[in-house]
Amino acid sequence: MDSTPPPSPEPAAAAPTPQLHGVGSRGREAFGRYARTLFAALLNWPGGRWPVPTVTSLFVISLLVVAAVELLPKGWSDVTLSVRAQTEVLLLDLQPERTYVWWLPGGSYSLLRADHAKGCEQRSRFDVVCPYSAATAVTIKNGATVRFELTTAEGAALPRFLVALTPRAIADHATDGEPARSVFEVRSGADESLVETSDLLTFESQPVQHWRIPLIAERVQIGESLSDSVAAADALGTIARQPIMTAGDVRMFARAFGFGADERYQIKDERFDPADVVQIPADQDQQGLLLGLLSLDADAQREFDVTLHSDLAEVFVRRLGAEHRIGVSMWKIVSQLPMWLALWVVWVSLIVVANYYSDRLGELRGQKSEAQQT
């Protein structure tokens, strides 16, 4: 009898490990189908079939057109601005390459030292006063920072004002390694040189009835904050005042595209609040060209009247608790052109027509489906 033991059963094969990557692949395919269905529904709503225009597709095209217009350079429309303000204080940065000649009414000049000045009095070591009853001309070379401020006494019949000329070094005009400094020269009506200095020069006028000068500057600040006023008064050795801008506005203009390219039209008009500080150009490190007029008329107003024109496209406004820029968008420029208004009327009409035919197409599809079912 054969006693050979029966063969042991072979071990069962291990159960296969489930593969998870198939689930992720199916999920991605389902998400793709859902996204394509959603996109097709949006593109062809409410009826119709691309490339037949539908309401949704026309709206999408409209958004793309608006975004494209915003990317156009503002230089194409030649944007300019005009600022008109009544202010008690004004600061200018003059161009270093330009020589300025301003006529000032009778008054007194103050400077640190005057070696060959005529008609001057040495009051202290660094205080020289030069009073002149007649009008004088001040010549400014190599640039300067100029501050105009009203100093009219309370209840006075006629206004007075203060002018402070602060020199600055100009690296572009260096000679022998030394930068050229500002030069201020005061001359009489007979073209006689009275005072010449490269240091701080201040002028305080006598009562003024009418006075005006042209303005050409690379930077302008209209108005001043309280802290700046106190600091300026301390630097000039005067009583601390609180001069502000009392009123003003900015208007922006653009040139029409295409037909009527010589025509300019207004695209923005915004008023400043009292005590605002307006800075032109808007960026601290930017320089521009500002042309205008500064006048003081005792009959019309008791503040400086400032008018400025520039090819810059925005201004910066400092306000108590808020700072903002005033500019204009390219869409604002383009949307006010009659040609673009006509195009948008046609575009809206096309959307209405597309909506009508989309509804009609949906009705026809519904009737066709009912006919097939019956």
b/e map of 111-143 (b: 16 or more CB within 10 Å)? Answer: beebeebeebeeeeeeebbbebeeebebebbbb
- pLDDT value, residue 1: 46
- β-strand pairing of 304-310 with 127-132: unpaired
Residue 354 has a CB neighbour count (10 Å cut-off) of 20
For residues 8 and 69, the model is more confident at 69
pLDDT score at 299: 80
Range of lowest pLDDT (18-22, 37-41, 180-184, 314-318):
18-22
pLDDT digits (tens, 9 = 90+) for 148-166: 999 988 778 899 999 999 9
Q: What is the predicted pLDDT for the residue at 222?
A: 95
116: nearest Cα among 134, 130, 137? 130
Q: pLDDT of 89-106, one tens digit each?
A: 999 999 999 999 999 999
CA dist 317 and 82 (Å) reads 15
d(CA 362, CA 52): 13
* Contact between 158 and 209 (Cβ < 8 Å): yes
pLDDT exceeds cutoff 90 at 62: no
Q: 262 falls in which pLDDT band (50, 70, 90)?
A: low
Instruction: Compute, in degrees rounded to 10, the torsion defined by CA atoms 257, 259, 263, 265.
Output: -50
Top-confidence residue, 73 or 295 = 295
Q: Per-residue b/e over 81-110, b at no fewer than 16 CB within 10 Å? A: bbbebbbbbbbbbbbbeeebebebbebbbb
Where do runs of H (alpha helix) occur along 49-186? Answer: 55-70
**pLDDT on residue 57:** 66
Query: Is 234 a residue whose pLDDT tops 60?
Result: no
The β-bridge relationship of strands 136-141 and 127-132 is unpaired
Domain ranges of the chain: 53-60+72-89+218-351, 96-208
Burial of 358 (0-12, 13-18, 19+ CB in 10 A): buried
Q: Which range among 205-219, 222-236, 353-367 shows the weakest confidence by mean pLDDT?
A: 222-236
For residue 233, give both structure tokens. Answer: 């008064």
Query: Quick one: average pLDDT of 120-141?
Result: 89
Percent of the chain with pLDDT over 90: 35
The mean pLDDT of the chain is 79
Where residue 119 falls among pLDDT bands split at 50, 70, 90?
confident
pLDDT in tens, 263-284: 778 889 999 998 899 999 998 8
